[in-house]
């Protein structure tokens, strides 16, 4: 274990770390606490506790529909982004491919372009092409944003792949497609799983692109945004808490998968 | 007999550099053949051309009489054991071995039977469900070997498969490889830069240098009768005796070596009398004596270096004629130390004249 700040007092370092953790977690904890408050106002102290907001949220048709719609968009986005991302990663690692660094840079560009700029340009783009706003447009926008993450994760894994695995498969009778399906793809599995979960999370979380590209149907972030504008209520806290728990669980699982891919 | 593998006038260029230079090589079925040479001699390229991973720039390669040089790897009935084994990390031992059989569309019962048979051949049945990452180097090596043998190839290619193993395990695997080759009766083509490996296992050794075959023959002939300086130098340790050819008598050459005259086997060469020739003489062919022998030619000298090697001692002897020779001393026969004066002698046929 290296020690970078050995001449600082240890307790000071530890204290500053815990301060950061509190800063990180306290707002979330407060939000969660309020969701159990048996009153209509978002304020402390909490005199009575209840689960009624959760019951209300889980029966809220609007909320459930928004969830389903968001998940649908996320899954479609993930599917397209994975196909395109893997394809680009393979292209970049193909020997003798010219301008590989250019391909890589272009593939990663959407990850660093500000969401707002990206959203506006996509909006103009679909107007020009006469694509209506709505589901298709949202998926298109989310996919563009998600592809770089798939590319980077798959590329990292591909680069650690021994060259002769595919040779061995070819040697044992596989044509190049079979070799890809039976050797390369399984080898990429941990990176793919991680990348796909990442796609799902970024898509569900996305507000700006959805706002510019969406139609009449609301996604989850749009619904919460609309509700917040109508005034804060513990019901929103309950919704947010549910979303937080589900996404945190999925995110941690993805981290677990990618960690395994790094160690294996 | 028709050769199982036949390279005919094969050239391979990488850009403008020549990796394989007009190779003509016929390999008889059922033999253990080793391509031996330093790195960059073209041995691996030759193997990869046979496996289908490189295409010859010109020339033809025949496998069982069929021209295959343009066929993709999956259409050739040869399999490779790769240098670092290339086991599929996501498949267990059994599935690795079964890979080629599955692609052949064999029934799963038959696949299982054959896989287990092969694994029992190398005593790995208990490891069938393990992942490659959980195996030792030697075990991985065996799995790679069985995976390559599973589809029943005409020819098995081995690309320096022992180089990652430690010395003891390597010796063990050499014997095991040889015995597997014998039991299966398959043609093995083995690539290595390790001359000891080549001598231990092979029926035929093909010594390659700069993309060409230097000499091809059984290990004994190669060792005892190297044709060129390169072969003599690459296989085993050698003394070179260089001088003017004084006379030729039957199969023997008389070479003027500074002040002495030594005899050497002409080895089929036909150098002109008066030209400079070189002969190779193995250290172990030299007898070290404490007194001048009466019945043979001998040269005298003084031991300048003595290195204990366990089963023998390697002596460097500075001769009266200004040259020096390396000889092996059998410690049971004679004990000698640095500074001692000794006489060296050898059978005339043990020194062989080289082509260049």
Task: State whether B266 and B335 are in the same domain.
Answer: yes
Instruction: Summarize pLDDT for A70-119 with one digit per residue, the tens.
Output: 999 999 999 999 999 999 998 888 877 777 888 888 888 888 888 888 88
Domain membership flag for residue A160 = yes
Question: A171 and B51 in contact by Cβ < 8 A?
Answer: yes
B89-127 burial, b at 16+ Cβ within 10 Å, e below that, comes to: bbbbbbbbbbbbbbbeebeeeebeebbbebbebbebeeb
Task: Give chain A's domain count.
Answer: 1
Distances (CA, A) of A222 to A55, A119, A243: 21, 15, 13
Nearest-Cα distance to chain B for A229, in Å, is: 51
Question: Is residue A198, in this structure, part of any structural domain at all?
Answer: yes
Is A160 an 8 Å CB contact of chain B?
no
pLDDT in tens, B25-78: 999 999 999 999 998 899 999 999 999 999 999 999 999 989 998 999 999 999
Is pLDDT of A263 > 80? Answer: no
Query: What confidence tens digit (pLDDT) does each residue in A138-178 have?
Result: 898 899 989 999 999 999 999 888 888 999 999 999 998 99
The answer to whether A168 contacts chain B (CB < 8 Å) is yes
- Would you say residue A264 has pLDDT above 50? no
Contact B74 A183 (CB under 8 A): no
CB-neighbour burial class of residue B133 (10 A; exposed 0-12, middle 13-18, buried 19+)? exposed
Q: ipTM surpassing 0.90, yes or no?
A: no
Average pLDDT over residues A120-133: 87
Instruction: Tell me how close the Cα of B152 comes to any Cα of chain A, in angstroms.
Output: 10
Q: Which of B201, B231, B261 is the last residue of a domain?
A: B231
- The CATH number that applies at residue A153 is 1.10.3720.10
What domain range is A145 assigned to? 54-263
Tokens of B60: 């033809």
Is A246 at the interface with chain B, CB within 8 A? no
Chain B residues with CB under 8 Å of A172 CB are 74, 79, 99-100, 103, 147-148, 151
CB A119 within 8 A of CB A157: no
Kindly state whether residues B220 and B249 are assigned to the same domain: no
- The count of domains in chain B is 2
If one compares B189 and A213, the residue with the highest pLDDT of the two is B189
Q: Report yes or no on A47 lying in a domain.
A: no
Residue where a domain terminates, one of B231, B259, B281: B231
Q: Hey, are the CB atoms on B84 and A164 less than 8 Å from each other?
A: yes
Clarify whether residues B143 and B244 are in a common domain. Answer: no
The CA distance from B75 to the nearest CA of chain A, in Å, is 7
B341 contacts B292 by C-beta, under 8 angstroms: no
Summary mean pLDDT of chain A: 85
Q: Are residues B216 and B305 in the same domain?
A: no
Q: What are φ and ψ of residue B4, in 5° steps?
A: -75, -35
B310, containing H or E segment: none
User: Which of A168, A174, A261, A264 to mutate: most B Cβ within 10 Å?
Assistant: A168
Q: What distance in Å separates residue A163's CA from the closest CA in chain B? A: 9
Does residue B61 sit in the same domain as residue B145?
A: yes
- Chain B residues within an 8 Å CB radius of A264: 89, 133
HSE-CB at B151 with a 13 A cutoff on CA atoms is: 29
Answer yes or no: do B42 and B146 share one domain: yes
Residues 54-73 of A with CB under 8 A from B: none
> Which of B78, B86, B133 lies closest to A164 in CB terms?
B86
User: What does the alpha-carbon distance between residue B132 and residue B340 come to, in Å, rounded to a whole number?
Assistant: 57
Task: Note whether B89 contacts A172, CB cutoff 8 Å.
Answer: no
B259 and B203 in a single domain? The answer is no
Query: Using one digit for the tens of pLDDT, what is the confidence trace for B256-298?
Result: 887 778 888 888 888 888 888 889 999 989 888 888 888 777 8
B333 pLDDT tier (thresholds 50, 70, 90): low
- From B121's Cα to the closest Cα of chain A, the distance in A is 20
Residues of B with CB under 8 A from a CB of A: 51-53, 72-74, 78-80, 82-84, 86-91, 99-100, 103-104, 133, 147-148, 151
Q: B103 and A173 in contact by Cβ < 8 A?
A: yes
The verdict on residue A158 lying in a domain is yes
Residue B285 and residue B179 share a domain: no
Q: pLDDT tens-digit profile of B146-183?
A: 999 999 998 999 999 888 888 888 888 899 899 999 98
A21 is a domain residue? no
| A3 pLDDT more than 80 | no
Residue where a domain terminates, one of B192, B215, B231: B231
Q: Whole-prediction pTM value?
A: 0.80
Strands B204-209 and B212-217: antiparallel
Contact B302, B339 (CB under 8 A): yes
Residues of A in contact with B104 (CB under 8 A): 173
- Chain B contact for A170 (CB, 8 A cutoff): yes
Residue B86 with chain A: CB contacts under 8 Å: 162, 164-165, 167-168
- Residue B160 and residue B269 share a domain: no
User: What CATH code is carried by the domain that includes residue B269?
Assistant: 2.40.50.100
Query: Quick check: A168 and B104 CB within 8 A?
Result: no
A231 touches chain B (CB under 8 A): no
Closest-CA residue of chain B to A164: B86
Smallest CA–CA distance from A175 into chain B, residue: B74
CA distance B79 to chain A (A): 6
Neighbours of B317 (CB within 10 A): 27
pLDDT at A258: 66
| Chain B contact present for A172, CB below 8 A | yes
Question: Are B74 and A171 in contact (CB < 8 Å)?
Answer: yes
Question: Which of B53, B100, B133 is nearest residue A172 as measured by Cβ atoms?
Answer: B100
Q: Are B178 and B143 in contact (CB under 8 A)?
A: no
Examine the domain organization and report whether B262 and B224 are in the same domain. Answer: no
Q: Is pLDDT above 80 for A39? A: no
Round to whole Å and give the CA distance between B9 and B60.
7
Alpha-carbon span B161 to B144, nearest angstrom:
9
Query: Mean pLDDT throughout A12-28?
Result: 89
Chain B residue at shortest CA distance from A190: B90
Residues of B in contact with A173 (CB under 8 A): 74, 100, 103-104, 151
Which residue among B72, B80, B86 sits closest to A162, beta carbon to beta carbon? Answer: B86
Minimum distance, in Å, between the CA of residue B58 and any CA atom of chain A:
22
Beta-carbon contacts below 8 Å between A and B: 63
Picking from B74, B86, B91, the nearest residue to A173 by CB comes out as B74
Full residue range of the structural domain in which residue B59 is found: 5-231
Are B79 and A171 an interchain contact pair (Cβ–Cβ within 8 Å)?
yes
Confidence at residue A130, expressed as pLDDT on a 0 to 100 scale: 84
Which chain A residues touch B91 with a CB distance below 8 Å?
Answer: 186
From A111, A115, A68, select the one nearest A212 (Cα to Cα): A115
- Please indicate if any CB of chain B lies within 8 Å of the CB of A28: no
Q: How far is B88 from chain A (nearest CA, A)?
A: 7
List beta partners, residue B81.
B158
Residue A74 domain-assigned? yes
């Amino acid at each position: 274990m290296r020690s970078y700040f050995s001449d600082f007092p240890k307790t000071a370092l530890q204290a500053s770390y815990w301060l950061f953790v509190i800063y990180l977690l306290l707002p979330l904890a407060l939000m969660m606490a309020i969701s159990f408050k048996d009153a209509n106002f978002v304020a402390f102290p909490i005199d009575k506790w209840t689960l009624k907001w959760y019951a209300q949220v889980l029966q809220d048709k609007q909320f459930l529909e928004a969830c389903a719609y968001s998940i649908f968009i996320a899954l479609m986005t993930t599917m397209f982004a994975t196909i395109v991302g893997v394809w680009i990663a393979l292209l970049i690692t193909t020997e003798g491919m010219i301008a590989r660094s250019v391909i890589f840079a272009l593939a990663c560009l959407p990850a660093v372009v500000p969401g707002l700029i990206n959203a506006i340009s996509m909006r103009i783009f679909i107007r020009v092409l006469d694509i209506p706003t709505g589901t298709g447009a949202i998926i298109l926008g989310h996919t563009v944003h998600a592809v770089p993450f798939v590319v980077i994760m798959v590329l990292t894994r591909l680069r650690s792949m021994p060259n002769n695995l595919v040779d061995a498969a070819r040697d044992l009778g596989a044509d190049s497609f079979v070799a890809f399906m039976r050797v390369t793809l399984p080898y990429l599995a941990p990176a793919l799983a991680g990348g796909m979960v990442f796609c799902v999370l970024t898509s569900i979380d996305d507000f700006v692109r959805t706002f510019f590209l969406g139609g009449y149907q609301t996604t989850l972030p749009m619904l919460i945004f609309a509700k917040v504008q109508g005034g804060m209520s513990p019901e929103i806290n309950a919704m947010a808490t549910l979303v937080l728990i589900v996404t945190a669980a999925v995110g941690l699982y993805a981290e677990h998968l990618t960690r395994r891919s790094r160690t294996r | 007999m028709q050769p199982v593998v036949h390279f005919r006038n094969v050239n391979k260029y990488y850009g403008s550099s020549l990796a394989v230079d007009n190779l003509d090589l016929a390999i008889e079925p059922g033999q253990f053949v080793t391509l031996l040479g330093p790195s960059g001699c073209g041995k691996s390229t030759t193997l990869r051309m046979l496996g289908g991973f490189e295409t010859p720039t010109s020339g033809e390669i025949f496998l069982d009489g069929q021209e295959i040089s343009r066929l993709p790897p999956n259409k050739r009935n040869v399999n490779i054991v790769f240098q670092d084994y290339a086991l599929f990390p996501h498949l267990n031992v059994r599935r690795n071995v079964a890979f080629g059989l599955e692609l052949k569309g064999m029934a799963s019962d038959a696949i299982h039977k054959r896989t287990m048979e092969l694994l029992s051949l190398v005593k790995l049945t208990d490891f069938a469900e393990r992942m490659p990452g959980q195996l030792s180097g030697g075990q991985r090596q065996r799995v790679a070997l069985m995976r390559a043998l599973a589809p029943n190839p005409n020819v098995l290619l081995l690309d320096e498969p022992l180089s990652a193993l430690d010395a003891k395990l390597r010796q063990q695997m050499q014997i095991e490889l040889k015995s597997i080759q014998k039991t299966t009766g398959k043609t093995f083509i083995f690539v290595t830069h390790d001359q000891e490996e080549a001598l231990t296992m092979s029926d035929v050794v093909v010594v390659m240098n700069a993309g060409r075959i230097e000499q091809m023959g059984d290990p004994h002939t190669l060792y005892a009768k190297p044709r060129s300086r390169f072969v003599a130098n690459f296989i085993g340790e050698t003394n070179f005796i260089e001088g003017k050819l004084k006379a030729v008598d039957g199969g023997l050459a008389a070479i003027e070596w500074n002040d002495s005259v030594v005899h050497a086997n002409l080895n089929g060469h036909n150098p002109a009398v008066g030209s400079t020739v070189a002969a190779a003489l193995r250290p172990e062919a030299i007898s070290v004596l404490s007194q001048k022998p009466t019945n043979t030619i001998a040269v005298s000298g003084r031991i300048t270096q003595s290195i204990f090697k366990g089963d023998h001692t390697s002596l460097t002897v500075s001769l009266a004629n200004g040259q020096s020779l390396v000889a092996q001393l059998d410690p049971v026969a004679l004990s000698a130390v640095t500074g001692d004066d000794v006489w060296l002698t050898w059978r005339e046929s043990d020194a062989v004249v080289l082509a260049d």
